[in-house]
Amino acid sequence: MVAIIGNISLICAALLSFYQFLNIRNINKVRVLNPDRTISLQFFFVLTAFFSLMYAYVVSDFSILNVYQNSHTAKPLLYKITGVWGNHEGSMLLWVLVLVFFGFLISKYDKRLDLPYKTLTLSFQSLITFIFLLFILLSSNPFIVISPVPINGQGLNPLLQDPGLAFHPPNLYIGYVGLSIVFSFTIARFYKGNFDASWAKLIKPWVLLSWSFLTLGISLGSWWAYYELGWGGFWFWDPVENASLMPWLCATALLHSTLVLEKRNALKKWTIFLAFLSFSFSLIGTFLVRSGIITSVHAFASDPTRGVFILMICAFFIFSSFILLAKKAGSIKEEKLISPISKEGAIVFNNLLMIALLLTIFIGTIYPIFLEIFTGDQISVGPPYFNLTATLIMIPAVLVMSFAPMINWKKDDLFGLLSRLKTVLFLSLLVTFIFFYINFQGPIIALVGIFLAAWLFFGTLFNFFEKTNYLKKLKDLNKTYLGMTVAHLGVAIFIAGITGSTLWKIEKIKTLKIGEKVLLNNYSLNFDKIKKIRGKNYIGHEAEFNLYKKNKFIKTLKPQKRFYPVQEFATTEAAIYSRGISDIYIAMSEPVDDSWLFRFHYSPLTPWIWIGSIMAFIGGILSFSHRMFKRK
Amino acid sequence: MKYIGLIITTAFIFVCLFFALNKKEQTLKSPLLNKPIPEINLDGLVEDDKLNNNNFKNEVILVNFFASWCVPCIVEHDFLFELKKQKPIKIYGINYKDNIKNLKVWLVKLGNPYSKIGIDKTGITGINWGVNGIPESFLIDKNGIIKHKINGVIDEKQIKILLSKIELLEK
């Protein structure tokens, strides 16, 4: 029954979206058909399909192959629900759900659009929906039934049974798919209207929304990896991580170039190109993750035939958009930018650095694939390449980022600017010096990191004070400006977090017997107890550590090692004591005779990585809400 | 004209990705490919009918990891008979972490396409052979070298591939 409802809903949604796409032919007629109804219906049908699948998961309906392969009656309810998107088919359904949801949002709430342009945009959006629904129906259908009905399911990968997973993919998808709206807005503009400041104003909130959710989705994923995988790191330059970072970088560049287009009527072609590129990279990201072309720690089921399908979808959208741009580029007139010492100059500079970083990561990610085709060798490009190149590119970007908001449009005076930056420079050097004094064994690059973080932090704050006349005019402040300030401060905190976490981390790996202790920086950890634990669908061991600082008891930490019998899979649940400026981290491993193997980390500033990311998210949402809902 | 470079580069990337994908399809990788079979010494279903390395000589053999608890294996079962019909080849079944009673019922119900069955109660043989999840099958040549691996169910498409590989190996 569920399977029938699901399949019919998907087919109805596909037909409706195709019908809406065909409406493009009628766009020049006097009366344009309002797309609201078809778009709402699309949303309704996909939602029905999604909830049918969720229902099948909740009641453990193993007659559906997808439920059988990814669920189990013993699984806690929360993970039955999140298990819906913990697999390829379900997650593609979520993808399309977000896609039609965005269409729905535009048709209902974006009052800034005139009817023909809205119809055109939503028709292109429907084409994307149609193609992805076709992909689901033909090669990734979650509603395939099996007979005889198995008694129980195979269970969900235990690593994915975690609150982090519950929210990581939906957020990431809002980000990815939000870029599809920007794509549709751009394509539609080639046929209705022109690329002027008003277009920049239209797409800006959607870019902001996608960017914010990409930021949140990526950081949730990284937080999940940090405490669930038990490796003690937050970023591994894994191809799948890169697949999410690339659209983010592109969206970051786009976010800033729309600003130039809005204020200076320039960078039109570049902005169009970035709008296309952002969506292209979210498609390529989907391809890299879903085709299994790259060996990754994110061991998703790989199926090359699906890969061919997604690759064809990528090729279709990327080529048609690039060719459209190439054909129409001649007719797009724009102002020339002149002065390098101007806000637009700084933005162009950072745009180029973002794209340079994007290409560097892209090359690092696909290089192993290319090498394998041409030579047959299998290699993996590791963190050393990415860390080095990313650091080198980010240093100048952050240097400029600090004062870019202070510079005037059109032209500014270099010496005036430098004299305004004196205070900022002094404060940043002071902070760097204090860090040097406290922790002088760190490598030089760590001091560079701290300097950059301080430079960005004080630069942003200084500009905020200037703008609000030292908080006297706080009420007059534009919310978009506030959003930018919060986001840039977030990036500063984030940089400090990365620096501390990667360069000052202390790691100890020790086998301990009960009663033994380990010293970590100023802390001492006493291994007091080990006990057996039993959860709903796992068994395992939990160790108890009492954490002391200078003989003063602070907290009991309980790392776990879990074993999931259904999947025969063990997971590590790290115990983390976070003080806001540093983390104590314990991950537990296998027993060796009567002692146990543990990994201890003292990671200074690590929580700042997530504090900074959340600030960036909040900043983005602030600007989004202001742009979207302000009264004219 | 400025955009031609962009489009050509993109096209080049796509062509490469397409080739890479095709290649991936042909060789779902196993580090054991073109290497001799790992050590194997298993009790059989019947007493004194052991399955060990001596059973892999002078013949092309298909080794199939299966279990009665594995639903895809039921789907695969018919195709194993189909394969034998098209090409009389020896198929050794390795029964992976199973309950012997259930296995016997299963074989009576669905039929037995296997020339020999080894019981891998602990799953150690599965580990030695690098089995990720059953069903998985290995094609072994006359010298006991692993020539091909199939992850997942052997279906019509896989049978075609298998038949062409077997023909090559038997030459």
Q: Residues of A with CB below 8 A from B6's CB? A: 322, 326
DSSP string, B48-73: T--EEGGG-SSS-EEEEEE-TT-HHH
Q: Smallest Cα–Cα separation from A563: which of A595, A594, A533?
A: A533
| pLDDT (tens digit per residue) in A304-313 | 678 888 899 9
Distances (CA, A) of B65 to A100, A212, B74, B114: 43, 47, 12, 11
Question: For the complex shown, is ipTM > 0.85?
Answer: no
DSSP symbol at B43? E
Q: How far apart are CA A341 and CA A333, in angstroms?
A: 23
* CB burial string A214-241: b at 16+ within 10 A, e below: bbbbbbbbbbbbbbbbbebbbbbbbbbb
Distance from CA of B59 to the nearest CA of A (A): 30
For residue A218, being part of any structural domain is answered with: yes
- Residue A10, pLDDT > 50, answer yes
Q: Residues of A with CB below 8 A from B24's CB? A: 292-293, 302, 304, 307
User: Which residue of chain A has the CA closest to B4?
Assistant: A326
Mean pLDDT over all residues of chain A?
Answer: 87
Q: List the single residue in A311, A318, A329 with the smallest CB-CB distance to B10.
A: A318
Identity of the residue numbered A532: K
User: Which residue of chain B has the CA closest to A319?
Assistant: B7
| pLDDT (tens digit per residue) in A32-55 | 678 889 999 999 999 999 999 999
Q: How many residues does chain B have?
A: 171
Main-chain dihedrals φ then ψ at residue A556, nearest 5 degrees: -100, 130
Bigger pLDDT: A112 or A298? A112
Q: How confident is the model at residue A30 (pLDDT cuts 50, 70, 90)?
A: low
pLDDT mean over B30-47: 82
Distances (CA, A) of A622 to A208, A219, A616: 9, 18, 10
Interface touch A369/B16, C-beta < 8 Å: yes
Mark whether A150 and A221 lie in a shared domain: no
CA dihedral B106, A154, A73, A161 (to 10 degrees): 170
Strands B116-120 and B51-52, by their bridges, are unpaired
Q: How far apart are CA A85 and CA A533, in angstroms?
A: 28
Q: How confident is the model at residue B129 (pLDDT cuts 50, 70, 90)?
A: confident
Please give the span between the terminal C-alpha atoms of chain A, in angstroms, as a whole number.
50
Interface touch A311/B18, C-beta < 8 Å: yes
Mark whether A260 and A401 lie in a shared domain: yes
Q: How far apart are CA A68 and CA A72, in angstroms?
A: 7
| pLDDT (tens digit per residue) in A232-279 | 678 888 888 899 999 999 999 999 999 999 998 889 999 999 999 999
Mark whether A144 and A184 lie in a shared domain: no
The confidence score (pLDDT) of residue A82 equals 86
The confidence score (pLDDT) of residue A441 equals 66
- Percentage of residues in chain B with pLDDT exceeding 90? 13
Q: Does A183 touch chain B (CB under 8 A)?
A: no
The confidence score (pLDDT) of residue A509 equals 83
Q: Where are the domains of chain B?
A: 1-30, 31-170
- Residue A351, pLDDT > 70, answer yes
The confidence score (pLDDT) of residue A632 equals 46
Bigger pLDDT: A297 or A44? A44
Mark whether A135 and A216 lie in a shared domain: no
User: Which residue of chain A has the CA closest to B14?
Assistant: A315
Q: List the single residue in B7, B17, B18 with the smallest CB-CB distance to A326.
A: B7
Q: Does A315 touch chain B (CB under 8 A)?
A: yes
Mark whether A148 and A198 lie in a shared domain: no
Mark whether A275 and A306 lie in a shared domain: yes
| pLDDT (tens digit per residue) in A57-115 | 999 998 998 898 888 888 888 888 888 988 889 989 999 999 999 999 999 888 888 88
Q: How far apart are CA A471 and CA A276, in angstroms?
A: 40
Mark whether A65 and A189 lie in a shared domain: no
Q: Residues of A with CB below 8 A from B20's CB? A: 293, 369-370, 372-373
For tokens 């990671």, name the residue: A603
User: Which residue of chain A has the CA closest to B97?
Assistant: A568
Q: Residues of B with CB below 8 A from A363's CB? A: none
DSSP string, A389-420: HHHHHHHHHHHHHHHGGGSPSS---HHHHHHH
Interface touch A366/B13, C-beta < 8 Å: yes
Mutation target among A370, A380, A569 for the B interface, most CBs of B within 10 A:
A370
For residue A499, give both structure tokens.
């620096």
Q: Does B17 touch chain A (CB under 8 A)?
A: yes
CB pairs under 8 A between A and B: 58
Specify whether the CB–CB gap between A409 and A264 falls below 8 A.
Answer: yes
Asked which of A137, A161, A185 is the last residue of a domain, the reply is A161
Q: Smallest Cα–Cα separation from A2: which of A49, A45, A71?
A: A49
Q: How far apart are CA A7 and CA A142, in angstroms?
A: 9
Q: Please, what is the angle between helix A343-375 and helix A268-291, to 10°? A: 30
Please give the span between the terminal C-alpha atoms of chain B, in angstroms, as a whole number.
55
Q: Smallest Cα–Cα separation from A601: which of A536, A562, A557?
A: A557
Mutation target among B6, B21, B33, B69 for the A interface, most CBs of A within 10 A:
B21
DSSP symbol at A358? H
Interface touch A372/B23, C-beta < 8 Å: yes
Which secondary-structure segment (H or E) carries A546?
A: strand A539-549
Q: Does B3 touch chain A (CB under 8 A)?
A: yes
HEC string of B68-122 equals CCCHHHHHHHHHHHHHHHHCCCEEEEEEECCCHHHHHHHHHHHCCCCCEEEEECC
DSSP string, A561-626: EEEETTTTEEEEE-EEEE-SSEEEEEEEEEEETTEEEEEEEEEETHHHHHHHHHHHHHHHHHHHHH
Q: List the single residue in B4, B20, B25 with the smallest CB-CB distance to A369.
A: B20
Specify whether the CB–CB gap between A175 and A247 falls below 8 A.
Answer: yes
Distance from CA of A207 to the nearest CA of B (A): 24
Mark whether A78 and A203 lie in a shared domain: no
Strands B146-151 and B51-52, by their bridges, are unpaired
Burial (CB count within 10 angstroms: exposed 0-12, middle 13-18, buried 19+), residue A139: middle
Omega within 30 of 0 (cis) for the link into B135: yes
Q: Which ranges of A468-560 does DSSP label H, i.e. alpha helix? A: 479-503
Q: Which ranges of A60-162 does DSSP label H, i.e. alpha helix? A: 65-70, 77-82, 88-109, 115-139
- Percentage of residues in chain A with pLDDT exceeding 70? 94
Mark whether A18 and A102 lie in a shared domain: yes
Mark whether A187 and A153 lie in a shared domain: no
pLDDT mean over B12-40: 76
Q: How far apart are CA A547 and CA A526, in angstroms?
A: 7
CATH superfamily of the domain spanning B31-170: Glutaredoxin (3.40.30.10)
Distance from CA of B24 to the nearest CA of A (A): 7
Mutation target among B7, B12, B71 for the A interface, most CBs of A within 10 A:
B71
Q: List the single residue in B7, B13, B21 with the smallest CB-CB distance to A293.
A: B21
The confidence score (pLDDT) of residue A306 equals 81
pLDDT mean over B107-126: 86
Within 13 Å and on the Cβ side, how many CA atoms surround A154?
16
Mark whether A308 and A215 lie in a shared domain: yes
Q: Does B7 touch chain A (CB under 8 A)?
A: yes
Q: How far apart are CA A546 and CA A528, in angstroms?
A: 7
Q: List the single residue in A292, A307, A322 with the smallest CB-CB distance to B10.
A: A322
Q: Residues of A with CB below 8 A from B14's CB? A: 311, 314-315, 318
Q: List the single residue in A305, A325, A372 with the smallest CB-CB distance to B20.
A: A372
Mark whether A209 and A356 lie in a shared domain: yes
Identity of the residue numbered A208: L
- Residue A494, pLDDT > 60, answer yes
Residue range(s) defining the domain that contains residue A197: 177-407
Burial (CB count within 10 angstroms: exposed 0-12, middle 13-18, buried 19+), residue B125: buried
Specify whether the CB–CB gap between A489 and A460 falls below 8 A.
Answer: yes
The confidence score (pLDDT) of residue A209 equals 95
Q: How far apart are CA A399 and CA A167, in angstroms?
A: 33
- Global pTM? 0.82
Q: Does B11 touch chain A (CB under 8 A)?
A: yes
For residue A624, being part of any structural domain is answered with: no
For residue A171, being part of any structural domain is answered with: no
Bigger pLDDT: B55 or A256? A256
Task: Count up the domains in chain A and report the number.
Answer: 3
